[in-house]
Structure formats: C-alpha cells, structure tokens
Structure 1
Amino acid sequence: MPVYSDPSHPEQNGRHERMHRDLKAACAKPSAYDLRVQQRRLNCFVKEYNHVRPHEALEMQTPASVHEFSTRPFPERISNFDYDSELKVLKVSRNGSVRWGSYNWVYVSASLQGKYIGALEMGNGIWRVFYRNVFLGYFNENELRTKEQSVRLETNLV
C-alpha cells in the first residue's frame, strides 16, 4: 500500500528516514574509492542491519529472525485488471500524468507510467482515482480549467 507523506517532510516517515541515515553513515560518508569497494560496504551494511543489529521496533530482535517468507507464488506476468464500468479508465503517460479532456493534465505518479488507472466521479467535479483496487487520491476537474499547468492528486478533500 502506498504511504502518503508530503514532499520534503521526512518527519512523516521516520522509520524509513532513520534507515537512510544509518545507511549514509555506514556507506556514503565518505564514499569508497571504486564501485567494488562501495558494493562491499553496502553488503556489510545489509548483513549487519538485518542479521546482527537488534531493532527496538522488533522487541530487540533482528529483522532476519522475525521475517517469514511468503508462501504465495510470484506470477511471471501480472494479469490485466478490469475496472468497474462506472470508472473512467485512463492510461498514465510517460511523464506520470493522465490527459483530462483535450488540454489538461493530472499528475498521478511516475511509477505508473504505461499503466491504466480508474477515476470515479463523486459529484461537483471531484474525482477519486484508483490503481486497481488501491485508492490514490482526489482531484477537482474544476481547478483544471483555471490552471495552465498540471494538477497533482490530493489525498484529502480539505
């Protein structure tokens, strides 16, 4: 599931930012002379982080000791998704946006390039946007007409 945090607000995703801080301290300050040595540093960090160092969030256990492998098979090819007939289906372009009408663009996500999303009208020009069964956000088509640029999805209506 996506994590909704605002751009340039690392305090909203503290656990992830803490891992990046530890990674940077162990491997990037200073960086190694060549890629082979840098890869060895990264491999050592991963081994220590997952197998040696206990984590407070895991009740002082290591991630490797509590990890359980999934029993679900991993498909080689992800099957197509059929959206409900009341959703407007749109293809995300290479810039991560969908064309709305003739001249307007709504930015969705660069990670969805080439994928299809569904938009469900809620009324008064407000649309809910989904990728498969995952809710991505809202946009107001009335704002599109007043702006000369692309609009981003919002996660709340306020």
Structure 2
Amino acid sequence: MRLPYGDGTRCYPLTILDDHSRFCLRIEPKSSTIGVKESFIQVFEEYGLPDAILSDNGAQFAGFRRGITQFERYLMDLDILPIHGRVRHPQTQGKIERFHRTMKQEILRQTPRNLLEADRLFQYWRWKYNEIRPHEALGHRPPASVYQPSTRQLFEPRPYEYPEGARLCKVNNWGYLRFGPFRVYLSETMADTYLEIRAGDADTFQVCYRNFQIAEIDANTGVRLNRNIRKL
C-alpha cells in the first residue's frame, strides 16, 4: 500500500496483523521498504515469535530473482515459516487487505503532510482499532479482547546441526548451489552456507536449509521446480 503526503513524497506503511484475532501489532509509516527486518524484530521483542508469517510478494519479502531473501532466511533462523500470497491474488491476504481499506476510509480522508503526521494518525487508528472498534468475526468484540501474545520468545539463532550422514552442499559466493552435474541459483543471501540435499518424490531433489525445504529440483534436468518454502 502506498499513500501520498502533502509535500509530494510517498509513504509505504508497514502493517502487521495477527491472523487469529485481527489484532494490529504494528503500523509504521516508511519512506521506503528499507528497515523491514528491524521493524519485525521490535514486534518479536514485544509480542513473541509466530509460527508463520504471510506476506505479499514485495522485493523485501520475496526477492527480485525469486531467490531466498535476507528476511526469509532470518525468519527460518527463528523457526518461523515464511509464506507468500499468490501473485496478483490479493484475496490470499484478505484480512490485511480489508484492514487497509478500512484504514483508508476512516483516517485518510485528509492527506497527512509528512511522515510525523502520518505516524500520529496511524497510532491513533491502531489504538482505536485494537481497543474499541468491534469486529463482526470476533462476535463484535475488539481485537485486544481476543489477542494473546506468543509464548515463544525472541532468541539469538545458533548454527544448525544436520543429521549424521546428511548429504551437504555449499552455496558459492554468487548464490549458486552445485551438486552432481547441476548448478542451481538460490540466492546470494545463502552464500557460503551448507544446505542439505534430500531425495524427493518422482525424480526430484529437495534442497533444505535447517528444518525447511527451500527449493525442489528436477533430478533429470536440474531445473528448480518451485521456490515455495515449507517446514519439514
């Protein structure tokens, strides 16, 4: 979502919503998409770690070359599953899309002049939305009456130990993984990282980082079949 400021610049609000309770954990006006990871760290410190995060396909979340992003790797280091909505299919993120529509209707009748004014509007709206505004899907209760923080606390990731006998291959400095006759691009984010290669189903290989499958490879052609991440 992009919003114009009165001074001619644009705002890219970062909005984080709890899927179960619709509780808004954060609304932050940003002048660019830089600093998304740091914003999520602050949310994790305050509210704990989720099991998964559903995001759109913006570059900071899904990357330009369909490689693993720094944000995705960080989530996996915290044992969080990154999930992306289908391209050009906003219904996948229906709750956040409805949240954005309501936010625009109720607080953006006037264009904020700058980032500071936008932040004041956002924080007031977040308080009203969480604490006062009834939600039909919650039995006309506000999200704050339903939301429960996660019991999983933020931690410093440690090196991962793969099972004894696992087939490991190292990603080179350019983000490519070579195994057998094949060379597959994953991401510069994974450079110098050992990944596990597992036999999949029907002539495929699974490329695994920690306890996540990050790619599926055709064993006959070396073509990457998908970049969907799933937890093992």
TM-score by length of 1: 0.65
**Could you tell me which residue of structure 2 aligns to residue 121 of structure 1?**
199
Q: Deviations over 1:5-53 (max 9, x none)?
A: 3212111231222223233444556541111111101111211221111
**Could you tell me which residue of structure 2 aligns to residue 99 of structure 1?**
176
**Could you tell me which residue of structure 1 aligns to residue 160 of structure 2?**
81
CA contact (8 A) 2:171 2:177 kept: no
Separation in structure 2 between the aligned mates of residue 125 and residue 119 of structure 1, nearest angstrom? 13
* Structure 1 residues 79 and 154, CA gap change in structure 2 (3 angstroms): closer
Shift of 1:89: 4.8
* Structure 1 residues 83 and 16, CA gap change in structure 2 (3 angstroms): farther
Identity %: 22
Any gaps of 5 or more consecutive residues in structure 2?
1-51, 53-81
* Structure 1 residues 27 and 13, CA gap change in structure 2 (3 angstroms): same
* Structure 1 residues 39 and 91, CA gap change in structure 2 (3 angstroms): farther
Letter of the 2:227 counterpart: L
CA contact (8 A) 1:51 1:62 kept: yes
Size of the aligned set, in residue pairs, is 145
Task: Answer yes or no: is 1:35 the counterpart of 2:115.
Answer: yes
* Structure 1 residues 14 and 105, CA gap change in structure 2 (3 angstroms): same
In the alignment, which of 142, 148, 153 is matched to residue 227 of structure 2?
153
* Structure 1 residues 13 and 73, CA gap change in structure 2 (3 angstroms): closer
Separation in structure 2 between the aligned mates of residue 142 and residue 127 of structure 1, nearest angstrom? 10
Letter of the 1:83 counterpart: Y
In the alignment, which of 34, 44, 48 is matched to residue 124 of structure 2?
44
* Structure 1 residues 137 and 53, CA gap change in structure 2 (3 angstroms): farther
Letter of the 1:21 counterpart: R
Question: Higher relative contact order by CA 8 Å / sep ≥ 6: 1 or 2?
Answer: 2
TM-score by length of 2: 0.48
Separation in structure 2 between the aligned mates of residue 142 and residue 87 of structure 1, nearest angstrom? 18
Q: Secondary structure in 1 aligned to 2:159? A: coil
